[in-house]
Amino acid sequence: EVQLVESGGGLVQPGRSLRLSCAASGFTFDGYAMHWVRQAPGKGLEWVSGISWDITIIDYADSVKGRFTISRDNAKNSLYLQMNSLRPDDTALYYCAKLTDGGPEDYWGQGTLVTVSS
Amino acid sequence: DIQMTQSPSSLSASVGDRVTITCRASQSIRSYLNWYQHKPGKAPKLLIFAASSLQSGVPSRFSGSGSGTDFTLTISSLQPEDFATYYCQQSYRPPSITFGQGTRLEIK
């Protein structure tokens, strides 16, 4: 059974940092690109960042570029998101996901909530 | 960056209605277009991948079409469980991804 389990969310003050983790199991983690997707309260889905299977290609949404860093450890089947200089508009449910790459394999975690507030 | 424009942003319809949602890409994405259904409190669910391939387990009343820049998601006969928010998503240059802004499908 495929599982993606996010952790690390919580309440944080503006300007502070937080690190999200995602533990993957049940599929060949090191064979696929992985992503972080978020949904702010009352808003739509927003792709945040993606990383290729071999870490050669990384990209970010403009809204987080320069503040967030995605990484992965294939030996640990884990994905990470280091979030610095957090702002109130970063408040969202953050999903770890293996998104379809043109095929049917598409997996999502249940999300971890990040709240940025003083 | 590739921008995705979905329309309408919201839609009211009745059980049994035929519904069409459109998605336009800012440049050609060939058939790298996917459709998701999202319900509150749940993870998004993939309905259609590669513009027109039905995900396993998804009812056949859902269908997708299009290529290049213009795409559609059609629900042939709305069921009560179909009321949700729908998103298109382009995956032309992975791992760079873009979602449309979403279409909220509500009961009339």
For the residues A74-93, what does the mean pLDDT come to?
Answer: 98
With residue A4 as reference, give the H or E element that holds it.
strand A3-7
For the residues A83-104, what does the mean pLDDT come to?
Answer: 97
Q: Residue A46: its chain B contacts at CB < 8 A?
A: 99
Contact check, Cβ <8 Å, B95/A103: no
pLDDT of A58 above 90: yes
Token couple for A43: 């808003």
Q: Residue B97: its chain A contacts at CB < 8 A?
A: 35, 37, 47, 50, 99
For the residues B28-37, what does the mean pLDDT come to?
Answer: 98
Give me the percent of chain B exceeding a pLDDT of 70.
100
pLDDT of residue B47: 98
Residue type, A41: P
Token couple for B48: 């259609």
Alpha-carbon span B26 to A77, nearest angstrom: 35
Tell me how far apart the terminal alpha carbons of chain B are, to the nearest angstrom. Answer: 36
- Which DSSP letter does residue B9 get? S
- Which DSSP letter does residue B77 get? S
pLDDT of residue A81: 98
Alpha-carbon span B19 to B94, nearest angstrom: 30
pLDDT of residue A93: 98
Q: In Å, how far is A81's CA from the nearest CA of chain B?
A: 15
Token couple for B50: 């590669």
| Phi, psi at A40, each rounded to 5° | -75, 155
Tell whether A111 is within 8 A of chain B (Cβ).
yes
Token couple for A20: 């999200």
What pLDDT digit, counting tens, does each position of B53-104 carry? 999 999 999 999 999 999 999 999 999 999 999 999 999 999 999 999 999 9
∠ CA A58-B91-A66, nearest 5°, is 30
Alpha-carbon span A15 to A116, nearest angstrom: 9
Q: Residue A106: its chain B contacts at CB < 8 A?
A: 34, 46, 49, 55
pLDDT of A24 above 90: yes
Alpha-carbon span B106 to B108, nearest angstrom: 6
Show Cβ contacts of residue B80 under 8 Å, excluding neighbours closer than 6 positions.
B15, B107
For the residues B23-36, what does the mean pLDDT come to?
Answer: 98
For the residues B6-14, what does the mean pLDDT come to?
Answer: 97
pLDDT of B108 above 90: no
For the residues B36-40, what does the mean pLDDT come to?
Answer: 97
Residue type, B3: Q
Contact check, Cβ <8 Å, A104/B96: no
- The mean of the pLDDT values for chain A is 97
- How would you class A75 by CB atoms within 10 Å of its CB: exposed for 0-12, middle for 13-18, buried for 19 or more? exposed
Contact check, Cβ <8 Å, A45/B87: yes
